[in-house]
Amino acid sequence: MKHVNDESRQSADLNTADDLVARIRSVRDGETTTADRLEGMLSRIAAVNPALNAFHEVLDEDARRHAESIDTRLAAGDDPGPLAGAIVAVKDNLCTTEGRTTCSSKILEHYRSPFEATAVARLREAGATIIGKTNLDEFAMGSSSENCAWGPVRNPHGVDRVPGGSSGGSAAAVAADCADVALGSDTGGSIRQPAAFCGCVGLKPTYGRISRYGLVAFGSSLDQIGPIGRSVRDASLLYEVMAGVDPYDATTSELQVESPLTDGPLDLQGLRVGVPREHVTDENHAGVTERLAETLDTLRSAGVTIVDVDLPLTHHGISTYYVIAPAEASSNLSRYDGIRYGHRAEARPGEGLESLYARTRSEGFGPEVRRRIMLGTYVLSAGYYDAYYTRALKVRRLIKQEFDGVFSQCDVLLGPTTPAPAFRVGADLDPVSMYLNDVYTVNANIAGIPAISIPGGTVEDDGDTLPVGIHLQAPAFAEPLLLRTASAIEALQSNG
Amino acid sequence: MNDSDSNPMPSIDDVARVATLSRLALDEAGLEAARRDLSAILGHVAAIQSLDVDDVEPMPRPQDVVNRLAEDEPGPLLDREVLLRMAPRTEGPFIAVPKVLGEGGA
């Protein structure tokens, strides 16, 4: 199988030796410059993006200007911020004032946002250089980054494999070293599943921790922005820069943001790690099961207490999600009507507004987006609202209560991020099979709790060696616990 | 997986109605494909019908957040010219749309 990492840079073992934190330090120490690092990555994008299709748009001129200004400030003894020297890729459903924001949809093909997402603005203010906008499943609806208006994204670990989705472009960009870190969004697993498939770290913070202002809305009660990086401390650094209350997003929490890793990795001695029985099943890929067992052995040796816990509502999560998320999407996407911005169908003589709306939307949206709008409209329509939507909202509370109960038995939860490694591009899964990719990740969105995927080794699948992820979940707003635990596990892995 | 007795699958008429509400223009083949997809997904989703939720409060957001109100003060606005440039069709300082009145055979 063809890899794009066969040359000098190996991404299968992303770790702290060459992560963002180390790279920023090398810029600060004068070993290299932001501009030189940027040129290296632009060359790399030029070399690998034709195969990967990870980027929609490379913002080379803007990035060069920015990198130069960062280097000038550093040379003058200024402090441009904690992300000075960082090269960041941004998922193309986050509004940026530079470049287009397409959401991988024909309906927004030429859209240029007049404002910038708070998360992106905070990265820039902290000194980050934005290198480009990454490909995704249209409006973040998918688990393979194949539902894209301009072609699928490919996995750097094997270009006939999907990178996962919906933040597949962001994960592929980091894995192929086309960016130090990238932003994704996660509505049901869209940061963590691609991070797992591409061998990266992916963090979905607590709902309300990072402002959603400027994130093109999909499922407003589920969406969170988060980082994809090479190490836990990379994810932690970006999280800290982006997190906190924002007057433009009334759902952001006023709770103070703590620096997650100030006290270093957690001492694992005595930590109670819960492993949901429902996440350790025969339905998992054999390699996933083996890697998980090895991780648990390593943790036991480090003094962790492994607790078997029950999350019997695990499999109701997907059902609940596929009512709530499409319901919210059908409402959010009703704004795309071709009137004020975006694609508009050619008007036909004598045609009225309703017909123009319908033709515009049918031309502009791809099949998966149309499917979810229809599903959402159905579950919200008279006669079905209570049976589906209200009921799903009730099950959501049960899922939340189930987590609350389990977190009285353990400190964090641990399991596989996905049941199996990356599948092949064009596997043409039916919608329900595709949705089941998110079986272990989706409940964190339903309950709003933070979760992270860290590399969990590689597995053999049909002749290919592919990365898989370890998934950790913690109570709401317990990012410091989550990240410190993840960092400790990462350290054990690199020592092992 | 598919309990068709307690969860009747949508008819073509149901799907056509949903397409209208969704403001999507689907031809006959599109409606049939949508009916097939919706039936499969709703068949899976029907699993939640088996749970006892009678005494459970619906939870629209993951946290029981309190609404925050902003002070009613004028703030910066996006530039009108910038917004107009985003519109697909304009006439002078206006966004052009097809005629609205008299639609639907009224």
Reduced DSSP (H G I as helix, E B as strand, rest coil) percent helix, strand, coil of chain B, to 5: 40, 5, 55
ipTM comes to: 0.91
Residue B101 three-state SS: coil
Q: Average of pLDDT values for B32-61?
A: 94
**Of the listed ranges A30-39, A106-115, A157-166, B40-49, the one predicted with least confidence:** B40-49
Q: Do B98 and A356 touch (CB under 8 A)?
A: yes
The answer for residues whose C-beta is within 8 angstroms of residue B15's C-beta and 6 or more apart is A374, B26, B31, B34, B35, B38
Residue A221 pLDDT greater than 60, yes or no: yes
Among candidates B22, B48, B78 on the partner chain, residue whose Cβ is nearest the Cβ of A374: B22
| Interface list for B 1-60 with A (CB within 8 A) | 10, 14-15, 17-19, 21-26, 34, 37-38, 40-42, 44-49, 51, 53, 56-60
Would residue A206 count as lying in a domain?
yes
Domain count, chain A: 3
Question: What pLDDT does residue A3 have?
Answer: 62
Q: B85: helix, coil or strand? A: helix
Identify whether residues A81 and A126 lie together within a single domain: yes
Segment A333-352 mean pLDDT: 94
In angstroms, the separation between the Cα of residue B13 and the nearest Cα of chain A is: 12
pLDDT over 70, % of chain B? 86
Domain boundary among A396, A431, A451: A396
In sign, the C-alpha dihedral spanning A329, A330, A332, A337 is: positive
Distance CA A445, CA A374 (A): 22
Give the H/E segment covering residue B90. strand B90-91
Token pair belonging to A222: 């589920």
Amino acid identity, position A386: D
Domain hosting A191: range is: 16-269+423-495
User: Does the pTM exceed 0.90?
Assistant: yes
Mutation for B interface: A314, A328, A374, A385, most B CBs within 10 A: A374
pLDDT classification of B4: cutoffs 50, 70, 90:
very low
Together in a domain, A304 and A319:
no
- Alpha carbon distance A250, A281 (integer Å): 40
Q: Indicate whether A230 and A285 sit together in one domain.
A: no
Domain final residue pick, A361, A377, A396: A396
**Residue A270: CB partners within 8 Å, gap ≥ 6?**
A303, A304, A305
CA distance A176 to chain B (A): 35
Q: Who among B34, B48, B68 is closest to A392 (CB)?
A: B48
CB-defined contacts A:B, below 8 A: 172
For residues A128 and A228, membership in a common domain is answered with yes
pLDDT in tens, B62-83: 987 677 888 899 988 889 999 9
Q: Tell me whether strands A305-309 and A412-416 are parallel, antiparallel or unpaired.
A: unpaired
Query: How sure is the predictor about B3, in pLDDT bands with cuts at 50, 70 and 90?
Result: very low
Q: What proportion of chain B, given as a percentage, has pLDDT over 90?
A: 68
- Residues in contact with A458: Cβ distance below 8 Å, sequence separation at least 6, in sequence order: A12, A199, A287, A291, A465, A466, A467, A468
What average pLDDT does this structure show over A163-168?
97
Q: How confident is the model at residue A330 (pLDDT cuts 50, 70, 90)?
A: very high
**Which residue of chain B has the CA closest to A312?**
B51
Which of A321-350 are b and which e, b meaning 16 or more Cβ less than 10 Å from the residue's Cβ? Answer: bbbbbbbbbbbbbbebbbbebbbbbebeee
Digit-coded pLDDT (tens) for A354-408 = 999 999 999 999 999 999 999 999 999 999 999 999 999 999 999 999 999 999 9
The pLDDT of residue B8? 63
Q: How far is it, in rounded angstroms, from Cα A393 to Cα A385?
A: 11
pLDDT digits (tens, 9 = 90+) for A256-269: 999 888 888 889 99
Across chain A, mean pLDDT equals 95
Q: Where are the domains of chain B?
A: 12-50
> Nearest-CA residue of chain A relative to B52?
A395
Helix axes A479-495, A286-301, angle to 10 degrees: 100
pLDDT tens for residues A275-293?
A: 999 999 999 999 999 999 9
- Cα distance between residue A30 and residue A248, in whole Å: 38
Closest CB to A375: pick one of B23, B41, B53: B41
* Pair (A290, A197) in one structural domain: no
Whether A189 and A337 map to the same domain: the answer is: no
Of A13-22, A57-66, A243-252, A349-358, the range with the lowest mean pLDDT is A13-22
